[in-house]
Amino acid sequence: NAGVTQTPKFRILKIGQSMTLQCTQDMNHNYMYWYRQDPGMGLKLIYYSVGAGITDKGEVPNGYNVSRSTTEDFPLRLELAAPSQTSVYFCASRDRGSSSYNSPLHFGNGTRLTVT
Amino acid sequence: GENVEQHPSTLSVQEGDSAVIKCTYSDSASNYFPWYKQELGKRPQLIIDIRSNVGEKKDQRIAVTLNKTAKHFSLHITETQPEDSAVYFCAAKTQGGSEKLVFGKGTKLTVNP
């Protein structure tokens, strides 16, 4: 059981380039999330998904796109990289839970992205 | 939408002392409040959480208290140890409807030996 796996761990992009951050989980979790973490700014939600085929915007979605074709995978796409997208990106997943139980978020190890 | 404020941003204590981190939230419908610990260069990990139908929850040296009326909740760490040094994040979520978990900006705790 690998949990949440993110690739790559590090990446340097030039302004205007595009890339996809990969995220996969093997816990059969319904919910998946993408957060970015800037120094001193906590974790900001970019996009999330409550199941295959369903995605929704978080707090800071501009400049990003996502897809959820399978339960396991939730890739994050940057189309035209900008210096403001320099950050650490965390993918997370959790179980659906119930009315009496909130399942915890399981985070991946993060992807450190630099745009120059 | 939900907004979570966290204070202080940095906290330095002597080993053995207690540490308290406070958070306030804006959405009165929020009913789930987890705390995450992030060690340097690592992923955030859940350390304790509380639901809105409970006022306090303890797990060994850590405890969380919730005041629904005032819309604030706090993390208490007693008998701090150097390995407690990390960044701590509070968060809030509304049960049902949106599944967004909104985080505070974090508190960097340093425990000095």
d(CA B78, CA A42): 24
pLDDT, tens digit (0-9, with 9 covering 90-100), for A93-113: 998 776 656 788 999 999 999
Do B101 and A105 make contact, defined as CB atoms within 8 angstroms?
Answer: yes
pLDDT attached to residue B2: 81
* Percent of all residues in chain B with a pLDDT value above 70, rounded to a whole number: 96
Q: How many CB atoms lie within 10 A of CB A64?
A: 19
Which residue's structure tokens are 């396991």? A72
Closest residue in B to A91 (Cα) is B43
Do A105 and B102 make contact, defined as CB atoms within 8 angstroms?
Answer: no
Q: Which token pair is A101?
A: 């139980």
Tens-digit pLDDT profile for chain B (113 aa)? 788 999 999 999 999 999 999 999 998 888 889 999 999 989 999 999 998 888 899 999 999 999 999 999 999 999 999 999 999 999 998 765 567 888 999 999 999 99
pLDDT attached to residue B98: 64
Q: Are A22 and A89 in contact (CB under 8 A)?
A: no
Q: Are B18 and B32 in contact (CB under 8 A)?
A: no
In sequence order, what DSSP letters do the residues of B5-73 get, joined into one string? Answer: EEE-SEEEEETTS-EEEEEEES-TTEEEEEEEEE-TTS--EEEEEEETT-SEEEETTEEEEEETTTTEE
pLDDT attached to residue A96: 78
Closest residue in A to B39 (Cα) is A109
d(CA B80, CA B85): 9
Closest residue in A to B105 (Cα) is A42
Contact with chain A for residue B7, Cβ under 8 A: no
Do A108 and B43 make contact, defined as CB atoms within 8 angstroms?
Answer: yes
pLDDT, tens digit (0-9, with 9 covering 90-100), for A40-90: 778 999 999 999 999 999 989 999 999 999 999 999 999 899 999 999 999
Give the residue numbers in A contacting B (CB under 8 Å), as ranges: 31, 33, 35, 40-45, 48, 50, 58-59, 90, 99, 102, 104-105, 107-110
